[in-house]
Amino acid sequence: MAAPVLEFSRVTLIFDDVVALENVSFRVGAGSSLVILGVAASGKSVLLKLSMGLLRPDAGQIYLFGEKIDDLPEQDLFVFRRQVGMVFQESALFDSLTVEENVAYPLVNQEGHAPPPDQVEARVRQALSFVELEQAIDKLPSELSGGMRRRVAIARALVNDPRLVLYDSPTAGLDPITAHTIMTLVLKARDTANVTSLLVTHRLQNGHLLANFRYDAASGTLVPAAHNGASRRTETRFLVLHKGKLMFDGDQEELNRQTDPYVRKFAMRL
């Protein structure tokens, strides 16, 4: 595996009487993808929040870009968070801010590192053009469809050119065609900007797309990744969580061979 971008070593987090994560270890290599599966309340969002220091573990170590971040003071975390994009569950856009202000938010709210205003606008436009939503720049979130809001959330996550992007259920509640559009953007970010991706999803098809497809810039669509041709097959691993415990960590073929009934729920039935 390439040098790990993210590593959890025996991470545990307990809220009052709920064990949100228990003794979880895994690594994600640069440029690869990690698909995180599990029923509601299994610890998926908690895992993403720990990855960028929004939560801290009660035990264990978390390494981001090779540095131990779990006990860093808040002000030392900013430099790491700048290199991580997060697409929050349900998009979490600011209702009273325009699309432009929402996407600009991570740029202008960084301690001492905000670019000058003309650069902010250029980068916001670039991020919106990446998700093909430049025309919505002056709109409010309430004026957008659910799928468009997800695209704005992705633009906001990418505006800082992050090395790692965390997607929390970005296709939940969308129709299959819009969900495919969102996954096309996830693969586009991975394949054109070499972004390392963590994707929480309930939709098995999304993991299949990450593991077996690539973004084709000429057509703007997803095409099967060649297994032994010019383009490399992308490295995609799957984690299955249950009540905070890691039940499975492996590739798609290993997942499909699992016999545990809970893990099998997440195997691809193709």
Ligand X SMILES: Nc1ncnc2c1ncn2[C@@H]1O[C@H](COP(=O)(O)OP(=O)(O)OP(=O)(O)O)[C@@H](O)[C@H]1O
Query: What is residue 136's DSSP assignment?
Result: G
Site track 64-93 with Mg ion (rule: CB under 5 A), x = hit:
-------------------------x----
Q: What minimum distance in Å lies between the beta carbon of 229 and ligand X?
A: 37
* Residue given tokens 């810039």 in the structure block: 217
Q: Quote the CA–CA distance of 107 and 114 in Å, as a whole number.
A: 6
**Residues in 159-198 that interact with ligand X by CB under 6 A:** none
Q: Is 234 in the site for Mg ion (CB under 5 A)?
A: no
Binding residues for ligand X, total number by CB under 6 A? 12
Site stretch for Mg ion (CB under 5 A), options 43-51, 98-106, 179-187, 205-213: 43-51
- In contact, 182 and 150? CB cutoff 8 Å: yes
Binding residues among 66-95 for ligand X as defined by CB under 6 A: 89
Q: Please, what is the minimum distance in Å from the beta carbon of residue 192 to ligand X? A: 28
**Which entry of ligand X, Mg ion, none binds 184, CB below 5 to 8 A by partner kind?**
none
From the list 250, 257, 224, 178, the residue with the least C-alpha distance to 34 is 250
Does 43 interact with ligand X (rule: CB under 6 A)?
Answer: yes
Q: Where are the beta strands (DSSP E) in the chain?
A: 4-15, 18-29, 33-37, 59-64, 67-68, 84-87, 164-168, 196-200, 213-216, 221-224, 236-242, 245-250
Instruction: Tell me: does residue 45 bind Mg ion (CB under 5 A).
Output: yes
